[in-house]
Chains A and B, each alone.
Chain A
């Protein structure tokens, strides 16, 4: 589903991703872990099509399509979804209106008719309830004044509504209390599907207790320095990152 070879990204002359390789197949869950500033969010944003980075790659294909030639909105319409580490606040735009515009943009691309307001509302409410978001949250401006945890749950709500083929969740577990973590994990698990892949960016083993990953990767200094099974996450939890070698030429 996703094939990445020698992905590099830089900004303002500063190289952040340095030759990253990764393969993700449909139905799989991958976890990406790594120290602060190692490039995890940059990786996630580059996949979603953030255009502020200079990006090169020998291969960057999603379901056979070259992502390098696809603007962010087309990636989204083709089923790529990013849950932001820091969701953006959009004053004056109601969460519902935003969600509906997004869902209809994606549906239009897939040749589906627009959801009418009533159908949309009932679907949105059902998902929101599962995530513990009430009607008031749907009516408020997008993310404005939401608590950290509410923002994360709102990202998951968007994922549920948009039904992506590949979901990249950038620290969707950070800042959640124990109950919210369980709710979000349940939401993510409910999205697991043989036709869908999920990439979880996380700092904590906690989340992986709920969502068992097929592969765990360690990102340090802009490239993946180690990959393994879910046991690798446990090992990281105990030993930290220092025992893992830095790629040549990169200071810790």
Chain B
């Protein structure tokens, strides 16, 4: 009890200290949004394993630490990470410790934004404007712009529930920046939008609260990728919320890559709402962290809407990754497809919890969920659970989960061709992951996934 009091006292005090300088301060609706959310967060406290939703993931390590918010970024980005950024061409926004880094960000399509020292004569970055149907800007900047703020008012915080979700409430109270991605109706964006979040992990434990809003207008088509990277390990918390709104007939290709450090904590909530005939394809690639929790909730809120949720998580050492997905079939004739694949080694822990809700009116729902897991060690653990709530009668809803080891017959086949144990295992694991990775249409993310998987085999991730 006293621990809970302490944690709440700490963050209540923090909020009163920082509230005055958070973006949107003075806008009545923002102040109200934050105030309600913080009250809710303080009321709820951090979740415990007594909650069904947190049964397998204990956030006690987060509770034990005090995470300071970030006002200003002092740490610099090490060179290897800078080169890694080149993999993510613009349009892109780069956030360092949760705050927009204008020098690393750019709007011009298909180029790599020059770094500060390479930038000739301090040419201002082309940010915050509308470009070929894309409005891409930092959330903090957008709230400061009256025209943008008016649009934000009708969307920000309208989709991601906070009433019973402590982390989302915490983010809503504390967010300092994030991405604002708006695609005007009918726009077909040829280049993917990259949102890169780098945690420097420098100094005392810090928390960042990225807050993203993706609005895809009617019949627009866009690919957006969120990438979470760690600069140099360390202990930190990323508590992110992304709201995605797909207008009628819009097509969104959404990617999330989570590559946090072994000491990092990552809790992210993505809430997508789809209108009539809209379509969302999500790929979540997660390499775990001290604790990584990916919540992905999709409301199929229009007839004929559809979503495909694909996930790959690859963890070893003491890492943990918890994927909670929820697909809410609210309207008739909506389709959902879901495939999450896990690779678990060492003492790693994985969770897949896939909820499918079919509302009373959602007749002709077609839902398919699969969870496939590969356990590479006796000490690794996976909890996989479908959670179906079906209230309509004319629906097709199927699910299945498998947990297996490396197939011995396949191993022998590879060895009989001269491949040693290590190479053979790698080939089989790559083959297992390929089903997800090959579906990634944004080449930067596909390449990054392959590179990361390669590093994982070399054990580099455990060092970071």
A positions within 8 Å CB-CB of B: 45, 48-52, 71-73, 75-77, 81-82, 84, 87-88, 90-93, 97-98, 101-102, 105-106, 109, 141, 158, 162
A-B contact pairs, 29 of them (CB 8 A): A45-B412, A49-B412, A49-B415, A71-B415, A72-B412, A72-B416, A73-B415, A73-B420, A73-B424, A76-B416, A76-B418, A77-B418, A81-B416, A84-B413, A84-B416, A87-B413, A88-B410, A90-B427, A91-B434, A92-B434, A98-B417, A101-B417, A102-B418, A102-B419, A105-B420, A109-B418, A141-B431, A158-B417, A162-B417
Contacting pair B418 A106 (CB below 8 A): yes
- Alpha-carbon separation in the docked complex, A46 to B427 (Å): 24
Contacting pair B418 A92 (CB below 8 A): no
- Alpha-carbon separation in the docked complex, A32 to B93 (Å): 67
B435 at the interface (CB under 8 A from A): yes
Number of A-B residue pairs with CB-CB distance less than 8 Å in the complex they form: 81
B409 at the interface (CB under 8 A from A): yes
- Alpha-carbon separation in the docked complex, A50 to B408 (Å): 10
Contacting pair B423 A101 (CB below 8 A): yes
Q: Per-residue CB proximity of B384-428 to A under 8 Å, as 1/0?
A: 000000000000000000000000111011111111110110011
Tier of interface size on chain B: 20 to 34
Of chain A, the residue at the smallest CB distance from B417 is: A102
Given A51-B412, A101-B419, A109-B418, 11 additional A-B pairs, CB 8 A: A71-B415, A72-B416, A73-B418, A76-B415, A84-B416, A90-B410, A90-B431, A98-B414, A102-B414, A105-B419, A158-B417
B298 at the interface (CB under 8 A from A): no
For A109, what are the chain B residues with a Cβ–Cβ distance below 8 Å?
Answer: 418
Task: Tell me the dominant secondary structure on chain B's binding face.
Answer: helix
- Alpha-carbon separation in the docked complex, A102 to B428 (Å): 14
Nearest chain B CB to A71 CB, angstrom units = 7
For B435, what are the chain A residues with a Cβ–Cβ distance below 8 Å?
Answer: 91-92
Contacting pair B431 A93 (CB below 8 A): yes
For B229, what are the chain A residues with a Cβ–Cβ distance below 8 Å?
Answer: none
B positions within 8 Å CB-CB of A: 408-410, 412-421, 423-424, 427-428, 430-435, 438
- Alpha-carbon separation in the docked complex, A175 to B434 (Å): 30
- Alpha-carbon separation in the docked complex, A158 to B413 (Å): 12
- Alpha-carbon separation in the docked complex, A71 to B417 (Å): 12
Contacting pair A92 B431 (CB below 8 A): yes
For B418, what are the chain A residues with a Cβ–Cβ distance below 8 Å?
Answer: 73, 76-77, 102, 105-106, 109, 162
- Which of A77, A97, A105, A162 has the most chain B CB within a 10 Å cutoff? A105
Nearest chain B CB to A151 CB, angstrom units = 12
- Alpha-carbon separation in the docked complex, A52 to B417 (Å): 17
Assuming A90-B427, A90-B428, is B412 touching A50 (CB within 8 A)?
A: yes
- Which of B409, B418, B421, B438 has the most chain A CB within a 10 Å cutoff? B418
Nearest chain B CB to A72 CB, angstrom units = 4
Contacting pair A105 B427 (CB below 8 A): no
Nearest chain B CB to A179 CB, angstrom units = 27
Contact of B434 among A51, A77, A82, A93 (CB under 8 A): A93
Of chain B, the residue at the smallest CB distance from A84 is: B413
Nearest chain A CB to B256 CB, angstrom units = 22
Contacting pair A92 B430 (CB below 8 A): yes
Assuming A76-B418, A162-B418, is B413 touching A93 (CB within 8 A)?
A: no
For B431, what are the chain A residues with a Cβ–Cβ distance below 8 Å?
Answer: 90-93, 141
- Alpha-carbon separation in the docked complex, A106 to B412 (Å): 16
For A106, what are the chain B residues with a Cβ–Cβ distance below 8 Å?
Answer: 417-418
- Alpha-carbon separation in the docked complex, A33 to B419 (Å): 30
